[in-house]
């Protein structure tokens, strides 16, 4: 059972309420996110284009522009080398489009996930040399490619790195390293995604700040970087720019997913648009996604969008099969008290291993490594929790690994099959993980009665969107709630609608996306079959619970009905 924690941070609530005229609950939600001074609140709620930082604050930007402009002036060839995920694709598109508009002789390459792996490699460098490339421009990669970039210089080419990943011990020697995470960068915000850095370079080269905001916004959401400060500004303004987007490919992809760019939100991007872009790099080639963004007419765009949607459906099927297999293995390892799950899936496509790792991590609240068979060795994707730094723990086992890399929350690795059991043993022996960590935590913003839930208040709270890392969706709680009844819902009738009454007499309908069968078992174990039957019949019963929930508007047949979504509950 997860541990609930009430955030309840202190601030001068009244002065902020006087300044902005907002509901006290909205003010408390802002302060719980450390948005607690008038200027910070203004930028958070009502960001403007001037709030974007000057790209020339990033050390090396002036030189990068000079090198690029000199190369364009001589007519020499420029090659962009991107990455196969959504951030890499949008980064590549932004710089390719910006350079084409400047008259550059420019093309691009995106590594193949299986053949090349992540980022610039020797094959791509040598290919660039054979194609008479003068300047290589990396997107969303390169900061860890010291050896490959050294080869480029040996062959007589120059390199500019644009990247946002963590800084390695050995930096490449390139013309310029544009990465806000560099200690010497001087840039006031460290957490841009790859497309954010690419957009900064495009603006420095003369593009209007609004030209690429929509593309950078999509990439920022897909790359799951923090949605605070400048990233929030990029996403909030970018979503507005998407309303006027005239890119045939992005419009076609939205329409193919039954979405309208004029009303798109971060959920649409993260769960529908982004996965289609990523599916091309997972199951085919990310060149398909680039071709979509570069499509010159609606017909071509619709054909490409349809193919990406088809690939995403195939990816979903492969993922579900792998998740089902992983759950069986995870149950065995949890039963053996493993605190770090290391699971070998023999039939899992390596491109979906990271997705599977994320789902297993969420299900069991344990750091998870999913291993699959690659062409030459076993490859793995790791997803971790806030209490376990996966990259540090892999580094402590580096002698068992062929190679590895990543971040505290996500990593990739390669390992010989005979070392898997030892890796599992070492990670679990050294895991400083408590039972409280494994239980998980639910951070509740406020305890509020159901009578507070109204269309007007929900609309105001939505000023806090877009939600994401650093700015989670507001979570409320109600204690000692009476369950009047329940109803099965959903296409497969696998979810639940609750009919609730709180201690103040307020009544409301609530959706719960926990599987009905699991909920039934829990309630019968707690209260007995007779009480559960009474619940189904909406007859008097003894079922009580405390619940954590967020608020939503159910729009149906032109009506807007306030409702709540149950995120966690405790049977009393």
CA distance from start to end of the chain:
13
What is d(CA 271, CA 63) in angstroms, rounded to the nearest whole number? 38
Confidence (pLDDT) at 113 = 82
Query: Where are any strands of DSSP class E within 378-475?
Result: 378-383, 401-406, 410-415, 441-444, 446-447
Confidence (pLDDT) at 386 = 84
Q: What is the pLDDT of residues 86-125, one digit of tens each?
A: 999 999 999 999 999 999 999 999 998 878 778 899 999 9
**Which structure tokens are listed for 37?**
């001074």
Which ranges of 376-454 does DSSP label H, i.e. alpha helix?
390-395, 420-430, 435-439
Q: Is the dihedral of CA 270, 276, 279, 281 positive or negative?
A: negative
Which ranges of 79-212 does DSSP label H, i.e. alpha helix?
86-101, 122-130, 146-154, 194-204
- Report yes or no: 307 and 297 within 8 Å, Cβ to Cβ: no
Mean pLDDT calculated for residue range 375-397: 90
Which ranges of 336-441 does DSSP label H, i.e. alpha helix?
353-364, 390-395, 420-430, 435-439
Asked whether residue 10 carries a pLDDT value surpassing 90, the answer given is no
- Peptide linkage before 466 cis (omega within 30 of 0): yes
Asked whether residue 405 carries a pLDDT value surpassing 90, the answer given is no
Mean pLDDT calculated for residue range 398-407: 86
In this structure, the number of other CB atoms found within 10 A of the CB of residue 24 comes to 12
Strands 446-447 and 476-489, by their bridges, are: parallel
Find the helix packing angle between 248-256 and 274-283, rounded to 10°: 100
Query: Confidence band (pLDDT; 50, 70, 90) for 560?
Result: confident
- In this structure, the chain runs to a length of 572
Confidence (pLDDT) at 551 = 94
Phi-psi region of 119 (alpha: psi -120 to 50; beta: other; left: phi over 0): left
Q: Please provide the DSSP assignment of 249-262 as one string.
A: HHHHHHHHTT--GG
Confidence (pLDDT) at 27 = 95
What strand order describes the sheet that includes 401-406? 341-344, 368-373, 378-383, 410-415, 401-406
Helix, strand, or coil (residue 67): helix
- Report yes or no: 125 and 151 within 8 Å, Cβ to Cβ: yes
Asked whether residue 362 carries a pLDDT value surpassing 80, the answer given is yes
Confidence (pLDDT) at 147 = 95
Residue with tokens 């190679």: 403
Helix, strand, or coil (residue 467): coil
Q: What is the pLDDT of residues 501-540, one digit of tens each?
A: 999 999 999 999 888 888 899 999 999 999 999 999 999 9
Residue with tokens 């000079």: 66
Q: Residue 103: which residues within 8 A CB-CB, separation 6 or more?
A: 72
Q: Is the dihedral of CA 500, 506, 509, 514 positive or negative?
A: negative
Asked whether residue 277 carries a pLDDT value surpassing 90, the answer given is yes
Percent of the chain with pLDDT over 70: 100
What is d(CA 552, CA 560) in angstroms, rounded to the nearest whole number? 10
Asked whether residue 558 carries a pLDDT value surpassing 90, the answer given is no
Q: What is the pLDDT of residues 281-326, one digit of tens each?
A: 888 889 999 999 999 999 999 999 999 999 999 999 999 999 999 9
């Amino acid at each position: 059972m997860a541990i609930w924690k009430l955030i309840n941070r202190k601030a001068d609530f009244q002065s902020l309420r006087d300044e902005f005229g907002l509901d006290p609950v909205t003010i408390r939600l802002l302060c719980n996110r450390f948005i607690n001074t008038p200027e910070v609140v203004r930028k958070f709620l009502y960001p403007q284009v001037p709030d974007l930082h000057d790209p020339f604050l990033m050390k090396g930007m002036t030189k990068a522009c000079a090198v690029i402009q000199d190369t364009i002036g001589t007519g020499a060839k420029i090659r962009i080398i991107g990455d196969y995920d959504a951030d890499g694709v949008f980064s590549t598109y932004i710089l390719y489009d910006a350079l084409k508009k400047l008259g550059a002789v420019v093309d691009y390459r995106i590594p193949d996930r299986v053949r090349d792996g992540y980022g610039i490699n020797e094959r791509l460098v040598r290919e660039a040399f054979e194609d008479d490339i003068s300047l290589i421009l990396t997107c969303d990669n390169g900061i860890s490619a010291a050896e490959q970039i050294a080869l480029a210089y040996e062959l007589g080419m120059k390199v500019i790195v644009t990247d946002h990943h963590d800084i390695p011990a050995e930096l490449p020697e390139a013309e310029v390293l544009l990465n806000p995470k560099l200690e010497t960068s001087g840039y006031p915000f460290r957490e841009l995604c790859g497309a954010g850095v690419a957009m900064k370079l495009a603006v420095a080269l003369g593009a209007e700040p609004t030209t690429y905001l929509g593309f950078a916004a999509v990439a920022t959401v897909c790359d799951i970087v923090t949605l605070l400060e400048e990233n929030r500004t990029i996403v909030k303004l970018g979503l507005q720019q998407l309303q006027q987007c005239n890119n045939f490919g992005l419009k076609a992809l939205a329409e193919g997913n039954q979405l309208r760019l004029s009303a798109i939100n971060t959920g649409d991007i993260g769960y529908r648009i982004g996965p289609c872009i990523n599916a091309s790099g997972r199951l085919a080639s990310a060149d398909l996604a680039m071709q979509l963004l570069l499509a010159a007419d609606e017909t071509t765009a619709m054909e490409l969008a349809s193919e990406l949607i088809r690939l995403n459906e195939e990816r979903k099927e492969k993922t579900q099969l792998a998740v089902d297999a992983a759950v069986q293995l995870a149950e065995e390892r949890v039963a053996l008290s493993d605190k770090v799950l290391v699971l070998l899936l023999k039939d899992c496509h390596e491109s979906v291993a990271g997705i599977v790792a994320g789902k297993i991590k969420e299900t069991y609240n344990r750091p998870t490594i999913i291993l699959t068979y690659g062409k030459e060795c076993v490859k793995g994707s790791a997803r971790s929790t806030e209490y376990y730094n996966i990259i540090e723990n892999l580094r402590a086992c580096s002698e068992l690994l062929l190679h590895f890399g990543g971040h505290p929350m996500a990593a990739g690795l390669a390992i010989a099959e005979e070392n898997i059991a030892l890796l599992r043993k070492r990670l679990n022996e050294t895991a400083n993980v408590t039972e409280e960590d494994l239980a998980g935590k639910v951070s509740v913003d406020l305890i509020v009665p159901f009578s507070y839930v109204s269309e007007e208040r929900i609309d105001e709270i939505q000023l806090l969107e877009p939600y994401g890392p650093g700015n989670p969706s507001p979570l409320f709680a109600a204690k000692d709630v009476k369950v009047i009844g329940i109803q099965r819902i959903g296409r497969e009738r696998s979810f639940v609608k609750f009919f609730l009454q709180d201690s103040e007499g307020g009544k409301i309908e609530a959706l719960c996306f926990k599987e009905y069968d699991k909920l039934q078992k829990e309630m019968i174990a707690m209260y007995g079959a007779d009480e559960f039957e009474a619940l189904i019949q909406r007859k008097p019963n003894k079922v009580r619970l405390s619940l954590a929930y967020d608020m939503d508007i159910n729009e149906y047949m032109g009506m807007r009905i306030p409702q709540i979504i149950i995120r966690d509950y405790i049977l009393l």
